[in-house]
Amino acid sequence: MDDSDEDQRLPHHREPKEYISLDKLAELGVLSWRLDADNYENDEELKKIREEQGYSYMDFCEVCPEKLPNYEEKIKNFFEEHLHTDEEIRYCVAGSGYFDVRDHNDKWIRVWVKKGGMIVLPAGIYHRFTLDTDNYIKAMRLFVGDPIWTPYNRPHDHLPARKEYIKNFLREEGGGQAVDAAA
């Protein structure tokens, strides 16, 4: 994505526009699925993913000015670069938003998650979230065991989750494009 300070809810494409594949995101540990958001209650693929990954906890979060208490403060906090010591799993059942993650060269990649998109950010990856210009997302939050939502704002490279992430996913390779991934 570009380095502009414009409204965080804009796409922030580089010029010319560049995209990366889901395989490149997977190299960073970011996993994704396209599911049937209109049928999430009975979706066999979602059930299979939850069983395989051990996602036992589930709830919903609606992010918009009308539904989220302390909206302005929360959206600012979501956009602060941070990591978690556990995976962050979000399944967009309505609306859309952007997850920004760092590539191998510490540049931002913007991932546009829309209705039906499920994304898993690995423990230890620096990231941030913002809505797009529609200002609305309803996301299913999944977790292994009891949820721990603690964000650790950058820098927190000393945490074991960060060290493990670096060991498993960040290696000196070429490429490292900072691009939008609107897949």
Determine contact, residues 84/150, Cβ cutoff 8 Å.
yes
Give residue-wise pLDDT tens across range 2-32.
888 899 998 999 888 989 999 999 999 999 9
45 known ligand binder: no
pTM to 2 decimal places? 0.89
104 known ligand binder: no
Closest Cα partner for 61 from 36, 101, 14, 94? 94
Domain ranges of the chain: 22-164
82 known ligand binder: yes
Give residue-wise pLDDT tens across range 135-175.
999 999 999 999 998 999 999 999 999 999 999 998 654 44
Q: Which positions ≥6 away from 40 have C-beta within 8 Å?
A: 46, 91, 93, 140
88 known ligand binder: yes
Q: Any idea which architecture 22-164 has in CATH?
A: Sandwich (2.60)
